[in-house]
Structures are given as C-alpha cells and as structure tokens.
C-alpha cells in the first residue's frame, strides 16, 4: 500500500430511506410525475447529514474497509494506456485491454465486498485509441461486470463541450467519457428527485451530462470535475 486513493468515499445515506427502490419503485416514481393530472407530491425535506471524510491510502483491490460499510463508490481509475502515475501496483499500464478489464473486475469484486446492499458504484471511464483503433474499453468493462454479476443501471455520457485540439485528421476528436452506474442488487438507494433538483431538465434529467472539464491548477495529472462527483 504505497499510494493514495481518495476516490472511495463512505457517505451517510440512509439505506432505510423510503425511496429505496427496486426497478418497480423507480418506475412508480416517474409514473407519479407523469401521471394524468396527478400533482406530484413535494419531496420530503431530508435532513443534511455531514458525510464522514477519511483519506485512506492503498490499492483499490484491497481496501482497508469492512464488509457492507460503504454506501457509494464514485471513482475515476486510470484509463488504459493513458498516464503512467508511477506508483506501485498501478492500474492502467496492462499490456492488453483484456488485462486492464480484468484489473477493474478485481477492483469491482473488492468494492462489492465493502458495498452495502443498497449501495452504488459510479465508475468514470474513457476509451483509448490503441494502434489506431478504439479499444472499446468501456464496453468491455460493462460486459465483464455484467458477466460477474453486476447490474448495469446506466451508461451516462459525460459530454465535454470544448477541449484540447487533437492532431488526428481522419477521425473526429474525442469529446466524451462515460460514467457507468453499477449496483449489486435491484433494491438499491436512488434519489431521482435529488437528481432532478441538482441537474434540472425536468423530472428525469437523462443520461447525457454536460460538464466542462476544470482547468487543472493542481499537481494531480488528471483531476475529475467536482460536479461529476456531486452528481455521481
């Protein structure tokens, strides 16, 4: 355990909250919103509970956390073959996209151990051009995670309007990444009203999020925007 990972965050969501929803529960909520003439009820005020903050160092495949102790994992692992972070045991420098996918599956198994049954994983991931072809990394990870028992609830597109110019003359510049929402069980906590309030755009804000990359003023090579974390 030689390096720092602050992305795995234990929050204080109440797993017994009334809108803990199975697939049906969420569908019911949108029916209420779209129902004929039925005025949607005002969401009940939820008391603010200060989150527990702790910075832990270690490998994401071996977390120093107990089983069933985490509500939310929002994480941005290194993308395949992009940056060398120069840390022992780092993810991202595997020889093949398959080996990288397997490394993320090992992470996901460990995260499933620490995750509460109502918990969620929001995995920010991008693709890589390797030998002039897209490697299809996000699709590989989704397929492998599904095969490993995860339920894939959303593939959110993080649309980055603007961005650095790319030198390629025979393809379009890459302007998006993904945030994959995974859960271990159908009965997971979900606050669609919260999303609607935070993001706007009607009762269901949709799975394309427009978030400007933040100017990198710090020493980290690849910080992800605070808003991405707030929404995820």
Ligand X SMILES: C[S@@+](CC[C@H](N)C(=O)[O-])C[C@H]1O[C@@H](n2cnc3c(N)ncnc32)[C@H](O)[C@@H]1O
Q: Which of 21, 78, 138, 232 binds ligand X (CB under 6 A)?
A: 78
Regarding beta strands 208-210 and 151-159, do their DSSP bridges make them parallel or antiparallel, or are they unpaired? parallel
Cβ within 8 Å of residue 200, ≥6 positions away: none
Which residue's entry shows tokens 């107990």?
66
Interface mask toward ligand X for 36-75; x: CB under 6 A: -----------------------xx---------------
Q: Among the candidate windows 45-53, 82-90, 132-140, 183-191, which touches ligand X by CB under 6 A?
A: 82-90
Which residue's entry shows tokens 């991931």?
125
Interface mask toward ligand X for 5-34; x: CB under 6 A: x-x---------------------------
Q: Among the candidate windows 14-22, 160-168, 173-181, 216-224, which touches ligand X by CB under 6 A?
A: 216-224
Q: Which of 89, 149, 194, 202 binds ligand X (CB under 6 A)?
A: 89
Q: Which is nearer to ligand X, 49 or 226 (CB)?
A: 226
Residue 7 contacts residue 13 (beta carbons within 8 Å)? no
Q: How far is the CB of 141 from ligand X (least distance, A)?
A: 15
Binding residues for ligand X, rule CB under 6 A, total 17
Q: Which is nearer to ligand X, 13 or 179 (CB)?
A: 179
Q: What is the largest CA-CA distance in the chain?
A: 59
177 lines the binding site for ligand X (CB under 6 A): no
Q: How far is the CB of 219 from ligand X (least distance, A)?
A: 10
Q: Among the candidate windows 65-73, 137-145, 163-171, 218-226, which touches ligand X by CB under 6 A?
A: 218-226
Cβ within 8 Å of residue 85, ≥6 positions away: 3, 78, 92, 221
Q: How far is the CB of 226 from ligand X (least distance, A)?
A: 8
Q: Which of 31, 54, 67, 222 binds ligand X (CB under 6 A)?
A: 222
Residues that bind ligand X (CB under 6 A): 3, 5, 7, 59-60, 76-78, 85, 87, 89-91, 220, 222-224
């Amino acid at each position: 355990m030689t390096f720092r990972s602050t992305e795995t965050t234990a929050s204080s969501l109440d797993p017994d909250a009334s809108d803990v929803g199975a697939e049906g529960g969420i569908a019911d909520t949108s029916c209420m919103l779209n129902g004929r003439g039925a005025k949607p009820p005002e969401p009940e005020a939820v008391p603010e509970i200060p989150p527990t903050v702790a910075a832990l160092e270690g490998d994401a495949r071996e977390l120093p956390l107990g089983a069933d102790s985490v509500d939310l994992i929002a994480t941005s692992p290194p993308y395949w073959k992009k940056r060398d972070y120069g840390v022992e045991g780092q993810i991202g420098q595997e020889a093949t996209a398959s080996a990288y996918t397997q490394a993320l599956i090992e992470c996901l198994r460990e995260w499933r151990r620490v995750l509460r049954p109502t918990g969620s994983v929001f995995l920010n991931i991008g693709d890589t051009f390797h030998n002039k072809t897209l490697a299809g990394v996000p699709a590989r990870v989704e397929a492998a995670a599904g095969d490993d028992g995860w339920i894939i609830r959303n593939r959110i597109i993080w649309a980055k309007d603007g961005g650095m110019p790319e030198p390629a003359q025979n393809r379009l510049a890459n302007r998006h990444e993904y945030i994959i929402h995974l859960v271990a069980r159908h009965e997971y906590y979900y606050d669609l009203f919260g999303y609607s309030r935070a993001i706007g755009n009607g009762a269901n804000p949709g799975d394309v999020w427009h978030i400007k990359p933040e100017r990198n003023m710090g020493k980290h090579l690849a910080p992800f925007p605070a808003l991405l974390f707030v929404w995820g």
